[in-house]
Structure 1
Amino acid sequence: MISTGLPELSSEKDLQFLRETLVMDLSEDKALEHFQRKFDEALKNRWNTTFQWAIHNNNRNN
Structure 2
Amino acid sequence: MKVLDLRGLTCPMPVIKLKSELEMGNGELVVLTSDPGTLSEIPALAEKLGWKVVKVEENECFKFTLKK
Instruction: Report if TM-score (shorter chain) is over 0.5.
Output: no
- Larger relative contact order, structure 1 or 2 (CA cutoff 8 Å, min sep 6): 2
Please state which structure has a larger fraction of its residues in helix: 1
> Considering only CA atoms, is the larger Rg found in Structure 1 or Structure 2?
1
Q: TM-score scaled by structure 1?
A: 0.32
Please state which structure has a larger fraction of its residues in strand: 2
Q: TM-score scaled by structure 2?
A: 0.29
